[in-house]
Amino acid sequence: MTDTKQNLSGLDGYYLEDLSVGMTGVYAKTITDTDIVMFAGISGDTNPVHLNQEYAAATMFKGRIAHGMLSAGFISTVLGTRLPGPGAIYISQTLKFKAPVRVGDTVVARATITEIVPEKKRVTLKTVCTVGETVVIDGEAVVMVPVRGS
């Protein structure tokens, strides 16, 4: 990323004028058992494939897996804190869940700008989450980005 961030308040992300196709933001997090249990509590998704090892062992996954939306949330982290950063507003997101994530896996979320539509103040980004070389989530996001002086 370039160093064109306007950080006057300490909270601002990139302005639309500072963005270019190809810029990428990244966030990585190693999944813990606590993350899964807390996500289940916050979201209400208590599917036993996430919480019960005995149940999960009998599934196609042969053990517990993290919620797909937990990993997808890391895309939101990239968009809201890295690129475009604070001030960006999520408009849409597509997600394709490709592989499971387990306790101990490090999920790396990347968002890369593929299109900028200045007249709508919108940016499209390719969004990918990986564990090692394995793509676990593939998608696309559209965000609205502030313009300088707004």
Rounded CA separation 150/142 (Å): 20
pLDDT for 45 beyond 80: yes
Domains along the sequence of the chain with CATH? 16-144 (3.10.129.10)
Rounded to whole angstroms, what are the CA distances from 86 to 42, 134, 150? 23, 29, 14
112 contacts 81 by C-beta, under 8 angstroms: no
Q: What is the pLDDT of residue 148?
A: 87
Binned at pLDDT 50, 70 and 90, residue 149 comes out as: confident
pLDDT for 1 beyond 50: no
Tell me which H or E stretch contains 93.
strand 89-97
Tens-place pLDDT, residues 93-132: 999 999 999 999 999 999 999 999 999 999 999 999 999 9
Tens-place pLDDT, residues 62-71: 999 999 999 9
Task: Count CB-CB contacts under 10 A for residue 63.
Answer: 13
Rounded CA separation 102/71 (Å): 10
Binned at pLDDT 50, 70 and 90, residue 85 comes out as: very high
